[in-house]
């Protein structure tokens, strides 16, 4: 069930699943916006980490970092989502490390929240007015504790360059 | 012991072990056909190989055993316990002989007649079944003893007690086997990866220890460090193979080649024992083979030619390999005719790889490097062996792929030598850690020739100077072009008054990279970059440094290309551009801006200008009414742009744009050269002022673009005669221009785009026909008549024969416009025939054709 959801790449309007079933997601915050990624895609969560900048790389690429001897490419989620850059005085970014075809990528986010089950049936389609950039990477929207959570499609977030 | 014998022994050991267990299985299930076949095959292999190696004793025993097994397999003889025992005895004898060979390198002496007799008897079906134990012991003893006491030949060995004989046999079998074992390549690769990681971790630990000064760890860390180095070396060794392995097939290849080509060739291989990583070995095998083949085919002359040149009939190809500073150098040389510089020059020009002007400035060495351009072959004939022009570029690409370089030296009549320099291993490389623009990078040491400290701060240190905006360094009387690493990587540049220049040699190009700082060298483990970063050609990988940080590894080849150093750039661009599209009028064009006469700045496509010169006024002389100057051994007419021009007096200098084609040169006298800019040239048709095709907005200013043809015509009317042929396609919206001369392409494209056409220019009918196959539509085609490969007549016939362009108006543009030529052109299918180069007539003809497209 979970893997079926995780790989549903086509426009996933409403996921036809029993109301009782739920996927487990990791919530995170980017520029005040709550997002979520399937917890199964997450390999690691890191605090502040030294990142080597990569000249000439696409703007979304913040650089690369060393995760226990493996080189991980870091993507700035703010950049990727077209949000304003992090303020210099703000707390350093945290990294959510995800795996995609054998390669590790770190998504730089402002804050990592918690692991929560989101009822699979509760995912609503992207509103048609949503920014094109966001519609691209969002699998749907979930209402949770009074605010909206964008459920990110990791594969599409990584599809840059 | 030679390699062949060692391989045989290893293989035989494996076979014998397999045989032992298979025979035991067979004894239990005598009818098991697969086992029987397996046993037979194993014995057969042993027999076959030892016949080949000249081991008669072993062969005789194996042969006798094989006979028996053959009959078992065919079912003509029943498998009996006695028979199996006999076979086992034979195998024991084989083991004993093998052990003897292992110890002494030759077959031990001994008499196997009794054993062979018994086997033969068994094969005959005679139920001679002596008590198994007796036979075994009796047969075992002699070889065992012999092997135990080698070189003491005892034809009649004294009987030895059974137990000791058994023990001796066992010991021999056990002790002999593991001199070499086979390990799968995957295991070795995996080991190498692990060791690489270990090296990185060790480096990190060492760095930590240095920072923290924790004495307690110092000693064990030191040991760990040494052991890691030894381990690294050991694992590298397991992957090392002599380069001779890659050469093994060459003697045969050269022999066949000599036979086929009727040449006498001697292959001299030196340094075959030089070892390198097997991964590198695999990658270098094909390029080497290709180069040897080239040497034999192109390099060496036929015996008669060699005699005539006063050389021995037999040509030599020399392969030489040796180690040099962490790299392996492989030379492939021949004593043949050398590379034909003139032919290469002509071919490079013909292929549009360069211009006459650029060629004139190139050293012979640079010209020779054209042979590495794609599709380049100077062989006059395509032979089965080589000459198709796919080769040297592939060789170069493959060598560069593994971080290597290839260079060549050639002397006409004396031979050609290629020198390949490749790293010993791809897994671990030595790199300089450098800084530019505030970031650190690893620069592989293979391409670094030297490091130069530069800056005004130090006395005597060379300074970076600038010619216009291009930084250069004067180094031992040589002018070294420089690139700024920070600039290339779009990082903020540091002050240039102090820093370093890494002098790089990539292929035949020498250039310098400006760096802010150089730290030290470090062993790095090259890891590939993430897929989303692969398009950045400036980096060849990334790695983790001792301090745990990630660092990008620079690719010297990529930097050279990005910096536009040398000819490889042109080749690369050629490769990237769709092959057929030569030049589009709406693409960016490099323009030379200058001031002359009244009005605003003037411009001319830079591609048309061969050179810029400053000529002293007193060198300008008058020939009749025409000002001329002696230029490169000929008279060059000077045409002033502005009316009322007067040659400057005495020492004052006259700026001149020099246009050349073939042997002719013309100088356009201007007042001042302003700038060179890249602009999309959008020419608005002008006011009809003679000498200008129109005006364009360049760098924010209205600039008149000169009509080069007009000024060339003023220098003399012979410009458009001669062998050069030009093809142009001009159509109101879309025109295809087929013209082999880059000069005329440059001349016609701006004129036609000024006339309002969108022009695509290609350098020949072949490229044009390729466009047709791709379905690119054109409204009209302008073609030159005289072109290499396929002339305009054949091109017209090909177009009219069918295809999407069969109806398109086709205009011939030729310097030969005699009535007979015109008739021939029309017959071939040309719609119109315009003399080269009558701009008005061409534009008129195009207008006519397109308003009545079917008019013929």
State the DSSP string of chain A. -HHHHHH--S---S----TT-EEEEEEEEETTEEEEEEGGGEEEEE-S---B--TTS-TTEEEEEEETTEEEEEEEHHHHTTPPPPPTTSPPPEEEEEEETTEEEEEEESEEEEEEEEEGGGPBPPPTTS-HHHHHHEEEEEEETTEEEEEE-HHHHH---
**Maximum Cα–Cα distance across chain A:** 48
pLDDT at B244 over 70: yes
Residue B732 binned pLDDT confidence (cut-offs 50, 70, 90) = very low
Q: How confident is the model at residue B441 (pLDDT cuts 50, 70, 90)?
A: very high
pLDDT class for B105, splitting at 50, 70, 90?
confident
Query: What is the total count of domains within chain B?
Result: 6
B231 and B248 belong to one structural domain: no
- Looking at the partner chain, which of A52, A55, A58 has a beta carbon nearest the beta carbon of B550? A52
* Separation of CA B655 from chain center: 42
Q: What is the pLDDT of residue A98?
A: 93
Chain-chain contact of A69 with B527 (C-beta, under 8 angstroms): no
With CB atoms and an 8 Å threshold, state whether B536 touches A160: no
Could you tell me the two tokens for B186? Answer: 């995957």
Residue B799 · residue B810 · CB < 8 Å: yes
**Is pLDDT above 80 for B433?**
yes
What residue numbers bound the domain in which B611 lies?
583-714
Q: How far is CA B110 from CA B48, B59, B133, B146, in A?
A: 21, 13, 21, 8
The Cα A25–Cα B367 span in angstroms is: 63
Interface test with B, best of A51, A62, A66 (most B CBs within 10 A): A66
What is the model's pLDDT at position B117? 87
Q: Which of the listed residues B714, B747, B781 is the one where a domain comes to its end?
A: B714
Find the mean pLDDT for residues A48-67. 89
Dihedral, CA atoms, B199, B201, B205, B211, nearest 10 degrees?
100
**Count of CB atoms within 10 A of residue B467's CB?**
9
Collapsing DSSP to helix, strand or coil, B427 comes out as coil
Mean per-residue pLDDT of chain B: 76
Residue B789: pLDDT over 60 = yes
Highest mean predicted confidence (pLDDT) among B61-65, B357-361, B500-504, B696-700: B500-504
Interface test with B, best of A50, A61, A71, A160 (most B CBs within 10 A): A71
> B240: pLDDT confidence band, cut at 50, 70 and 90?
confident
* B551 and B632 fall within a common domain: no
Pair (B30, B49) in one structural domain: yes
B676-699 pLDDT, tens per residue? 776 766 666 655 677 777 777 777
How far CA B36 is from CA of A133, B85, B162, B692, in Å, comes to 70, 15, 30, 94
What share of chain B in percent tops pLDDT 90? 4
pLDDT for B443 equals 93
Which positions ≥6 away from B563 have C-beta within 8 Å? B481, B483, B488, B511
Ramachandran region, residue B437 (left: φ > 0; alpha: ψ -120 to 50; beta: rest)? left
Say how far apart CA B115 and CA B679 lie, in whole Å: 93
Of B167-176, B242-251, B339-348, B573-582, the one with minimum mean pLDDT is: B573-582
**B262's tokens:** 């009727």
Average pLDDT over residues A81-108: 87
When pLDDT is cut at 50, 70 and 90, the band that residue B574 belongs to is very low
The answer to whether residue A48 scores a pLDDT higher than 90 is no
Q: What is the pLDDT of residue B135?
A: 41
Among B239, B258, B274, give the residue marking a domain's end. B239
- The DSSP call for residue B430 is E
pLDDT for res A2: 39
- B121 falls within a domain: yes
Assign B709 a pLDDT band (cuts: 50, 70, 90).
confident
Contact yes or no for B799/B782 (Cβ under 8 A): no
Give residue B470's pLDDT: 78
- Residues B200 and B136 both lie in one domain: no
Is the model more confident about B9 or about A63?
Answer: A63
Q: Tell me, yes or no, whether B477 and B512 share the same domain.
A: yes
Pick the residue with more confidence: B130 or A143? A143
Question: For residue B673, with 0-12 CB atoms within 10 Å meaning exposed, 13-18 middle and 19 or more buried, which class applies?
Answer: middle
Q: How many CB atoms lie within 10 A of CB B811?
A: 27
pLDDT at B755 over 80: no
pLDDT for res B165? 37
pLDDT reported for residue B726: 34
B108: domain CATH number is 1.20.120.160
Same domain (yes/no): B401, B256: yes
B644 and B699 both lie in a single domain: yes
Average pLDDT over residues B171-196: 70
Q: What pLDDT, on the 0 to 100 scale, is given for residue B497? A: 61
Q: Which residue of chain A comes nearest to B439, CA vs CA?
A: A53
> Which pLDDT does position A75 carry in this prediction?
93
Does B490 contact A55 at a Cβ distance shorter than 8 Å?
A: yes
Are B534 and B620 found together in one domain? no
Highest-pLDDT range among A2-6, A34-38, B453-457, B630-634: A34-38
Q: Is A65 on the interface with B (CB under 8 A)?
A: yes
**Which of A1-5, B264-268, B404-408 has the highest average model confidence (pLDDT)?**
B264-268
Whole-angstrom CA distances from B383 to A113, B144, B261, B264, B266 are 70, 60, 10, 18, 21
Is there a single domain that holds both residue B106 and residue B167? yes
Q: Is the pLDDT of residue B206 over 60?
A: yes
In the block, tokens 């630990």 appear at B205
All domains in chain A, ordered by first residue:
44-80+90-110 (2.40.50.180)
Residue B298 lies in a domain: yes
Closest Cα to residue B425, out of B537, B325, B280?
B280
What distance in Å separates the CA atoms of residue B346 and residue B766, rounded to the nearest whole number? 19
In angstroms, rounded to a whole number, what is the distance separating the alpha carbons of residues B651 and B635?
20
Least confident of A123-127, B219-223, B420-424, B813-817: B813-817
- Residues B701, B670 within the same domain: yes
The pLDDT of residue B853 is above 70: no
Binning pLDDT at 50, 70 and 90, where does residue A161 land? low
Contact A50 B549 (CB under 8 A): yes
Choose one of B128, B151, B179: the last residue of a domain.
Answer: B179
Say if the Cβ atoms of A158 and B532 lie within 8 Å.
yes
Q: Which residues of B touch A (CB under 8 A)?
A: 197, 200-201, 437, 439-440, 489-491, 527, 529-533, 535-536, 538-539, 542-544, 548-552
Identify whether residues B316 and B432 lie together within a single domain. no
In CATH, what number is assigned to the domain containing residue B779?
Answer: 3.40.50.2300
Percent of chain B with pLDDT over 70: 80
What is the residue whose two structure tokens read 């034979």? B90
A27-45 pLDDT, tens digit per residue, is 999 988 899 999 988 999 9
The better pLDDT of the pair B164, B850 is held by: B850
More confident residue, A155 or B52: A155
The complex's ipTM? 0.80
CA distance A16 to chain B (A): 34
Q: Give the pLDDT score at B382.
A: 44
Q: What is the average pLDDT across B427-452? A: 87
The pLDDT confidence band at residue B661, using thresholds 50, 70 and 90, is: low
* Torsion angle (degrees, nearest 10) of CA B91, B97, B99, B103: -170
Q: B626 or A26: whose pLDDT is higher?
A: A26
Residue B136: per-residue pLDDT = 42
Q: In chain B, what are the helix, strand and coil shares in percent, each to the nearest 5?
A: 45, 25, 30
B46, pLDDT greater than 50: yes
Q: What is the CATH number of the domain that holds B266?
A: 3.30.565.10
Burial B329-356 (b: 16+ CB within 10 A, else e): bbbbbbbbbbbbeeebbebbbebbbbbb
In a domain, B856, yes or no: no
pLDDT confidence band for B375 (50 / 70 / 90)? low
Higher per-residue confidence, B319 vs B690: B319
DSSP alpha helices (H): ranges in B29-80? 33-53, 56-74
CATH code for position B218: 1.10.287
Measure the CA–CA gap between B710 and B751, rounded to whole angstroms. Answer: 11
Give CA torsion, residues B236, B237, B240, B241, to 10 deg: -170
Q: Is the pLDDT score of B140 beyond 50?
A: no
**A69: contact with B, CB 8 A cutoff:** yes
Given this model, what pLDDT does residue B680 score? 67
pLDDT of residue B291: 87
Over residues B60-66, the mean pLDDT reads 85
* Residue with the larger pLDDT of the pair B684 and B522: B522
pLDDT-based confidence at residue A63 (cuts at 50, 70, 90): very high
Task: Answer yes or no: do A64 and B535 touch at CB < 8 A.
Answer: no
Identify the DSSP state of B296: I
Read off the pLDDT of each residue in B575-583 and give the average, rounded to a whole number.
Answer: 34
B489 or B131, which is more confident: B489
Find where tokens 């036929």 sit.
Answer: B302
According to DSSP, the residues that pair with A46 across neighbouring strands are A95
Specify if B356 maps to a domain. Answer: yes
* B28, B65: one domain: yes
Q: What is the pLDDT of residues B267-300, one digit of tens each?
A: 888 888 888 888 788 888 888 888 888 888 888 8
pLDDT of residue B383 exceeding 60, the answer is no
pTM to 2 decimals? 0.47
């Amino acid at each position: 069930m979970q893997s079926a959801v995780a790989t549903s790449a086509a426009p996933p309007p409403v996921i036809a699943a029993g109301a009782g079933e739920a996927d487990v997601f990791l919530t995170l915050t980017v520029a005040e916006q709550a997002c979520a990624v399937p917890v199964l895609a997450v390999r690691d969560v890191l605090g502040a980490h030294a990142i080597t900048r990569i000249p000439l790389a696409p703007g979304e690429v913040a650089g690369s970092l060393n995760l226990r001897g493996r080189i991980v490419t870091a993507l700035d989620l703010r950049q990727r989502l077209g949000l304003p850059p992090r303020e210099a005085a703000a707390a350093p970014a945290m990294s959510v490390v995800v795996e995609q075809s054998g390669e590790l990528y770190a998504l730089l986010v402002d804050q990592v929240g918690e692991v929560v089950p989101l009822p699979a049936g509760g995912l609503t389609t992207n509103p048609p007015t949503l920014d094109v950039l966001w519609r691209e990477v969002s699998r749907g929207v979930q209402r949770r504790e009074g605010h909206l959570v964008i459920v990110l499609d990791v594969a599409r977030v990584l599809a840059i360059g | 012991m030679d390699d062949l014998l060692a391989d045989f022994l290893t293989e035989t050991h494996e076979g014998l072990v397999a045989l032992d267990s298979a025979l035991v299985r067979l004894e239990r299930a005598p009818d098991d056909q697969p086992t029987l076949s397996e046993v037979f095959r194993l014995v057969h292999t042993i027999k076959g190989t030892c016949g080949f190696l000249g081991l008669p004793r072993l062969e005789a025993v194996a042969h006798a055993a094989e006979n028996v097994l053959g009959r078992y397999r065919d079912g003509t003889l029943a498998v009996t316990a006695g028979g199996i025992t006999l076979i086992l005895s034979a195998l024991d004898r084989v083991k004993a002989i093998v052990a003897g060979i292992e110890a002494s390198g030759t077959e031990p002496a001994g008499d196997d007649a009794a054993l062979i007799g018994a086997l033969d008897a068994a094969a005959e079906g005679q139920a001679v079944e002596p008590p198994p134990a007796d036979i075994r012991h009796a047969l075992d003893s002699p070889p065992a003893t012999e092997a135990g006491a080698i070189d003491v030949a005892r034809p009649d060995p004294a009987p030895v007690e059974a137990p000791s004989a058994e023990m001796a046999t066992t010991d021999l079998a056990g002790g002999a086997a593991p001199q070499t074992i086979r390990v799968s390549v995957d295991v070795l690769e995996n080991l190498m990866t692990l060791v690489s990681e270990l090296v990185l971790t060790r480096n990190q630990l060492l760095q930590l220890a240095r920072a923290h000064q924790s004495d307690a760890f110092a000693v064990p860390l030191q040991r760990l460090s040494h052991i890691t180095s030894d381990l690294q070396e050991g694992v590298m060794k397991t992957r090392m193979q002599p380069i001779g392995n890659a050469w093994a097939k060459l003697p045969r290849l050269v022999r066949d080649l000599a036979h086929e080509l009727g040449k006498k060739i001697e292959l001299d291989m030196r340094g075959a024992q030089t070892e390198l990583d097997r991964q590198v070995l695999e990658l270098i095998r094909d390029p080497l083979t290709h180069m040897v083949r080239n040497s034999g085919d192109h390099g060496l002359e036929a015996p008669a030619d060699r005699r005539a040149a006063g050389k021995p009939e037999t040509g030599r190809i020399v392969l030489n390999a040796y180690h040099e500073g962490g790299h392996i150098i492989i030379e492939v040389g021949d004593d043949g005719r050398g590379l034909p510089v003139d032919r290469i020059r002509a071919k490079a020009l013909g292929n549009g790889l360069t211009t006459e002007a650029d060629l004139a400035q190139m050293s012979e060495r640079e010209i020779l490097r054209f042979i590495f351009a794609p599709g380049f072959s100077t062989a006059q004939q395509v032979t089965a062996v080589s000459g198709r022009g796919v080769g040297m570029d592939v060789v170069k690409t493959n060598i560069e792929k593994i971080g290597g370089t290839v260079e060549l030296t050639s002397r006409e009549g004396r031979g050609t030598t290629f020198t390949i320099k490749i790293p010993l291993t791809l897994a671990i490389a030595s790199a300089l850690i450098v800084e530019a623009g505030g970031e650190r990078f690893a620069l592989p040491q293979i391409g670094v020739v030297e490091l130069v400290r530069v800056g005004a701060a130090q006395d005597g240190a060379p300074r970076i100077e600038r010619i216009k905006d291009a930084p250069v360094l004067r180094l031992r009387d040589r002018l070294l072009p420089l690139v700024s690493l920070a600039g290339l990587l779009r990082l903020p540049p540091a002050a240039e008054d102090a820093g370093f220049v890494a002098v790089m040699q990539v292929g035949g190009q020498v250039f310098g990279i400006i760096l802010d700082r150089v730290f030290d060298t470090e062993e790095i483990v090259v890891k590939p970059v993430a897929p989303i970063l692969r398009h950045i050609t400036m980096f060849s990988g990334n790695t983790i440094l001792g301090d745990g940080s990630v660092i990008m590894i620079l690719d010297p080849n990529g930097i050279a290309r990005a910096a536009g150093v040398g000819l490889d750039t042109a080749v690369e661009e050629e490769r990237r551009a769709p092959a057929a599209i030569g030049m589009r009028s709406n693409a960016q064009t490099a323009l030379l801006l200058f001031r002359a006469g009244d009005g605003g700045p003037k411009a001319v496509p830079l591609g048309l200008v061969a050179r810029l010169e400053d000529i002293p006024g007193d060198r300008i002389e008058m020939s009749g009414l025409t000002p001329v100057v002696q230029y490169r051994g000929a008279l060059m007419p000077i045409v002033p742009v502005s009316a009322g021009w007067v040659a400057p007096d005495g020492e004052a200098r006259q700026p001149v744009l020099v246009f050349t084609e073939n042997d002719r040169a013309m100088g356009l006298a201007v007042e001042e050269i302003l700038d060179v800019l890249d602009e999309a040239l959008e020419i608005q048709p002008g006011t009809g002022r003679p000498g200008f095709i129109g005006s364009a907005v360049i760098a924010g200013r209205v600039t008149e673009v000169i009509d080069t043809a007009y000024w060339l015509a003023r220098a003399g009317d012979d410009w458009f005669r001669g062998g050069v042929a030009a093809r142009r396609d001009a159509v109101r919206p879309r025109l295809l221009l087929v013209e082999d001369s880059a000069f005329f392409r440059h001349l016609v494209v701006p004129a036609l785009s000024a006339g309002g056409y969108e022009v695509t220019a290609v350098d020949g009918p072949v490229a044009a026909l390729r466009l047709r196959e791709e379905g690119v539509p054109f409204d009209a085609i302008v073609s030159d008549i005289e072109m290499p490969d396929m002339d305009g007549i054949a091109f017209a016939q090909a177009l009219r024969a069918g295809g999407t362009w069969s109806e398109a108006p086709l205009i011939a543009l030729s310097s030969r416009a005699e009535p007979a030529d015109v008739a021939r052109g029309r017959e071939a299918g040309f719609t119109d025939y315009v003399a080269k180069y009558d701009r008005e007539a061409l534009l008129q003809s195009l207008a006519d054709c397109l308003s009545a497209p079917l008019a013929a």
